[in-house]
Amino acid sequence: MDWLFFGEISLAGLAMGGLYALIALGFVIIYKATRVINFAIGEIMMFAAYLFLAFAGGMEISPWVAVPLAVLGGALLGGVIEKTMIRPMLGESPISVVMVTIGIASILVGLVELIWTADPQLLPSFLPREPVFIGELYLAPKIAYGFLIGMAMLILYLLYFRFSRGGVALRATASDQAAAYSMGINVRRVFNLAWVFGSLAASLAGILVAATGGLSPQFGIIGLSVLVVVIVGGLDSILGALIAGVFIGWLETVAGAYLGGEYRMPATFAVLAVILVFKPYGLFGTHEIERV
Amino acid sequence: MRIGDAKQTYLADEAIWTSSTQKIWFALLLAVLLAFPFMASSYLLYLGCLVGIAVISTTGLNILTGYTGLISLGQAGFMGVGAYTVAWLSLNTGLPFPVTLLAAGLLAAAVGVLVGLPSLRVKGLYLAIATLAASVFLHFIFAEWEPVTGGMEGLSLEPAHLFGLEFRSDFAMYFIIVPLAVLALFGAKNLFRTRVGRAFIAIRDRDISAEILGIPLLKYKLMSFALSSFYAGIAGGLFAYFYRVVTPESFPLSMSIFYLAAVIVGGMGNLLGGVLGAAFMTLVPEALKLLTAVMTPIWPNAPVFMSPMLEIIFGALIVGFLIFEPHGLAEIWRRVRRFFHLWPFRS
């Protein structure tokens, strides 16, 4: 066994996992606050990445302005989706709400194909190009810097939820909606905020992932990997999302490198199946107690 | 206005035919279905076969999702199992189609039970994701188990045959597909008049209450999975005979979503809804193709926009029906019927 190769692959996988963790965080924020499983998160990421392409490639705005613009665009998209399509579904069965997000995903894919055509695109490069070495291990610069930016965002988010007023409102709503409402928290606004923040995290991750792997209307398939991450970590656990994100990212990359690309999905879904059978609520998820 | 619809026994309430008018209409419908292939153009015949296959699969998914309340994202995978079974059997054994189709249904049902096993511990969305995992594995098996499935190339098979008769054309396939679809609907209709079907409905409405009432949850959930995938297997087998080539890409995840959408657009937990939904969702893309063909002379770019527009319309239909018409096309149908029943009064 070639340990150097294994180390490099693992490192790349862990960096990818960091981005997964960021997307999963966006997913978990939405789920915690609104109990909606968002199947459209991959497509929201894709949309933000295409926005970046339009700003930086089409309008030739400097990437350092285009990235925040595109991320804000993605966040706005999340907010609009919540207001127009998720809000009317309040109180409906989870099946229906999930199907609405699947419908939204399809609409977004169609819109992207309509505006930017179905051909794969390359994002203008905006990350430094010098190769990164950690000890002896080489890491592609795009992945390394993507990881760093993603981590910075992640830490910002965790601090925000821990200390800010909005973060406290979000956590309060997540733990008990009725109590939060009676304490004067505007639950509707929190719902909207959760979608905005969730989409914001996903959008940034979307641009970073697309910068390394290219962009096409099939980009949203990454949403499936994220689904595995959040189920393995526990749908409503931020810690779970972080740990499972890093682990699944690593596993996917290692399986892809050693067994071939076609083994990436089955490998992660095998972990998912095992988790579902032995720990149905994920590694750190809350057990739901049901009463008649 | 229709009057005199007071029922006096439970048996009458549960009857399939509640009035003689209904019988007449149904006989008419059967006559139209029988006459259709003799009058329709080859394109319409092709669409008729597609709708028939979609009706069988949608009815199966309706049993699972609409009546038992278990969401499945694996319907396309189960159809794939059926299709590969038929393809493999007809290539290697040359058995006639009733045998291969039955085998397809049974094998798909067995896989369905296997996939349903996690429902012992998880439910709701977690179960949906377990079925998603199953469809990923099935796709992987279809693509990689080359000695049996032919890998990415897939399998191509001979036309269906029985007693020396070959069912090569769409015209011939119509006479296999449509009777099977009618049979499938009757089977489902009767299912929900039995203990098993009613147990499914009880589980959908509140699983814990159902268990307290003495319905063993796991057994009935697995039964629902088995039945639903049996239908999917038959539909998949017909799909294989219809196109006579089966590849892993024939059964993508988007197909599972298509069938879920058909169930929702038609109306969850309603057999008529399943039929309407399957027909509607199959015909919308065709209508759009027609529209594109009409538009092309005026607007040469139209074909470029067709496939994205299809995605948008597909999504918009799902979202729109869920928000504005949650009971689906079946509810619209009921409203239209009520209008005529109550005419000249307003409902």
Query: Residue B52: which CATH number?
Result: 1.10.3470
What is the total residue count of chain B? Answer: 347
Q: Let me know if residue A63 belongs to a domain.
A: yes
| pLDDT interval class at A62 (50, 70, 90) | confident
Contacts of A231 in chain B (CB under 8 A): 126, 129
Integer CA distances (angstroms), A133 to A4, A140, A141, B254, in order: 12, 9, 9, 41
Which site among A102, A112, A263 would you substitute to test the B interface, given the most B Cβ atoms closer than 10 Å to its Cβ?
A102
Answer whether B65 sits within 8 Å of A95, measured CB to CB. yes
Residues A208, A209, A215, A216: what is their CA dihedral angle, to the nearest 10 degrees? Answer: -140
Of A113, A118, A276, the CB nearest to B130: A276
SS3 A275: helix
Contacts of B128 in chain A (CB under 8 A): 95, 98
Alpha carbon of B307 to those of A106, A109, A219, B314: distances in Å? 12, 10, 17, 11
Among A4-8, B79-83, B257-261, name the one with the lowest average pLDDT. A4-8
In B146-205, the residues whose Cβ lies within 8 Å of chain A are none
Please report whether residue B219 resides in a domain.
yes
* % of chain A with per-residue pLDDT over 90: 21
Q: Give the pLDDT band (50/70/90) at residue B232.
A: very high
Domain presence at residue A90: yes
Let me know if residue A9 belongs to a domain: no
Cα distances (angstroms) measured from residue A43 to each of A59, A247, A279, B160, B225: 23, 23, 29, 41, 30
The mean pLDDT of chain A is 86
Residue of B323, B319, B321 whose CA lies nearest to A88 = B323
Closest CB to B315 among A103, A231, A270: A103
Helix (H) or strand (E) holding B22: helix B20-39
Q: Which of the 8 DSSP states describes residue A30?
A: H
CA distance B88 to chain A (A): 23
Q: Is residue B19 part of a domain?
A: no
The single-letter code of the amino acid at B9 is: T
From the CB of residue B10, how many other CB atoms can be counted at a distance below 10 Å? 8
The alpha carbon of B227 is separated from its chain's Cα centroid by a whole number of angstroms, namely 12
Q: Report the share of chain B in percent with pLDDT over 90.
A: 28
- Residue A11, domain member (yes or no): no
Q: What average pLDDT does this structure show over B272-297? A: 87
B314 touches A: beta carbon within 8 Å: yes
| Chain B: closest CA distance from residue A63 (Å) | 28
The pLDDT-based confidence of B2 (bands split at 50, 70, 90) is low
Buried b (16+ CB within 10 A) or exposed e, B251-285: bebebbbbbbbbbbbbbbbbbbbbbbbbbbbbeee
User: A-B interface: how many C-beta pairs under 8 angstroms?
Assistant: 126
Examine residue B30 and state whether it is found in any structural domain, yes or no.
no
In a domain, A195, yes or no: yes
d(CA B253, CA B72): 11
Distance, CA of B246 to CA of B229 (rounded, Å):
18
Q: Is A238 part of a structural domain of the chain?
A: no
Chain B residues in contact with A105 by the CB 8 A cut-off are 315
Range of the domain at A183: 19-219
ipTM: 0.85
pLDDT of residue B259 exceeding 90, the answer is yes
d(CA B13, CA B7): 6
Tell if the CB–CB gap between B318 and A92 is shorter than 8 Å: no
Task: Give the nearest chain B residue to A265 (CA atoms).
Answer: B136
**Contact yes or no for B132 and A224 at CB 8 A:** yes
pLDDT computed for residue B200 by the predictor: 92
B51-83 pLDDT, tens per residue?
999 999 999 999 998 898 888 888 999 999 999
CB contact under 8 A, A100 and B71: no
Q: Can you give the length of chain A in residues? A: 292
On whether residue A52 sits in a domain, the answer given is: yes
Contact A103, B254 (CB under 8 A): no
Residue B215 lies in a domain: yes
Residue numbers of the domain that contains B232: 40-342
Average pLDDT of span B276-294: 88
Tally the domains of chain A. 1
* Whether residue B226 has pLDDT greater than 90: yes
> How many Å lie between the alpha carbon of B258 and the closest alpha carbon of chain A?
10
Question: Burial of A77 by CB count in 10 Å (0-12 exposed, 13-18 middle, 19+ buried)?
Answer: buried
| Closest residue in B to A282 (Cα–Cα) | B126
* Cα torsion B157, B160, B163, B169: sign: negative
- How far is the C-alpha of B74 from the C-alpha of B119, rounded, in Å? 14
Whether residue A95 and residue B69 make contact (CB cut-off 8 A), yes or no, is yes
Q: Which one of A86, A229, A262, A269 makes the best mutation probe of the B interface by having the most chain B beta carbons within 10 Å? A: A269
CA distances from A185 to A66, A81, A190 (A): 34, 22, 8
The residue among B260, B255, B272, B244 whose CA lies nearest residue B321 is: B260
**Cβ contact, residue pair B308, A111, below 8 Å:** yes
pLDDT given at position B150: 77
Evaluate whether residue B13 is within a structural domain. Answer: no
Range B37-56 average pLDDT: 88
Entry pTM: 0.89
Q: Do A105 and B315 make contact, defined as CB atoms within 8 angstroms?
A: yes
Closest by Cβ to A269, choosing from B133, B308, B311: B133
Taking the CA of residue B107 as centre, how many other CA atoms within 13 Å lie in the half-sphere pointing to its CB?
21
Number of domains in chain B: 1
For B172-207, the pLDDT digits (tens) are 888 889 999 999 999 999 998 889 999 999 998 888
Q: How far is A235 from chain B (nearest CA, A)?
A: 10
Average pLDDT in the B209-226 region? 90
Q: What does the pLDDT look like over A212-241, one tens digit per residue?
A: 878 888 888 888 888 889 988 888 888 888
Assess if residue B31 is contained within a domain: no
pLDDT surpassing 80 at residue A278: yes
**Cα–Cα distance measured from residue A180 to residue B231, given in angstroms and rounded to the nearest whole number:** 47
Max CA separation in chain B (angstroms): 66
Measured between beta carbons, the chain B residues lying within 8 angstroms of A277 are 118, 121
Do the beta carbons of residue A27 and residue A222 sit within 8 Å? no
Q: Is residue B167 situated within a structural domain? A: yes
B219-229: burial string, b at 16+ Cβ within 10 Å, e else: ebbbbbbbbbb
Question: What average pLDDT does this structure show over A147-174?
Answer: 87
A→B interface, C-beta within 8 Å: 37, 85, 88-89, 92, 94-96, 98-100, 102-114, 118, 224, 227, 231, 262, 265-266, 269-270, 272-273, 276-277, 280-281, 290-292
> If we measure between CA atoms, which residue out of A52, A211, A81 comes closest to residue A146?
A211
Nearest chain B residue to A224 by CA: give it.
B132
pLDDT band of B316, cuts 50, 70, 90: very high
Percentage with pLDDT > 70 across chain A: 99
